[in-house]
Amino acid sequence: MENRVTGILLYPGFSEYELSVLLSVLKQGGKQTLFIGIDNLPVKGEAGLPCIPDTSINQVDVTILDSVVLPGVDDFKHLVHHKELTSFLHRIDNQNRVIAAISSAPFFLSLSGVLKGKKYTTGLTAEQRTFLETFDHENYLDLPVVVDDYLITAKGSAFLEFAFSVGDLLKLNYEKSWYYGSHNKRTEKERS
């Protein structure tokens, strides 16, 4: 797995903040990333950050990926009936690659059958999960992050723990304490 890359899915309305720490952990751990769009068109995140994918879900060679990350999205109705996304997730799941989904993104895993038989969490409420009719409620755990084999799911507010779970599962060498500010322990005298 050392020479493979982490695919970061980008779709309109993706949550930038849910990726921020994860991208830093991957960089600090020396992990190569590949930004994968639904297509090759530029996308804007929910805060308006414009991004240009390196490739698309139809063009990417999945054999170079050891992991895929799905950020949450502020409104996923444009992706509900997206057959290419479902097909892409099946191809990744069939190879037992690490799949990490945060906030609302576990919906795509449930929609495509990837969550079947797996413990998971999500930022979606019980009412939303019931309305969507794709989630197995018995496997839901009300925890910030859940790791079940090669699958990582998280609530959006747990983006720090999510990033660490991905880094740990990929066996990356990174400094967790850096993200808590303990890397910069200058004395009061040094700050003056």
State the average pLDDT over residues 2-27. 92
Here the CATH number for the domain that contains residue 50 is 3.40.50.880
Q: Please say if the pLDDT value at position 188 is more than 80.
A: no
pTM of the model: 0.89
pLDDT digits (tens, 9 = 90+) for 146-171: 999 999 999 999 999 999 999 999 99
pLDDT for res 1? 43
Q: Which two tokens stand for residue 70?
A: 């799905």
pLDDT for res 187? 44
State the average pLDDT over residues 37-64. 94
Q: Please say if the pLDDT value at position 85 is more than 60.
A: yes
Phi, psi of 178 (to 5 degrees): -60, -35
pLDDT for res 189? 47
Distance CA 167, CA 163 (A): 6
pLDDT for res 82? 66
Domain residues for the domain of 58 are: 5-191
Distance CA 46, CA 103 (A): 13
Q: Please say if the pLDDT value at position 11 is more than 60.
A: yes
Closest CA relative to residue 93, chosen from 76, 113, 119, 111: 113
C-beta of residue 15 within 8 angstroms of C-beta of residue 43: no
Q: Please say if the pLDDT value at position 58 is more than 80.
A: yes
Q: How many domains does the chain have?
A: 1
Residue 151 CB: number of other CB atoms within 10 A? 22
pLDDT for res 192? 42
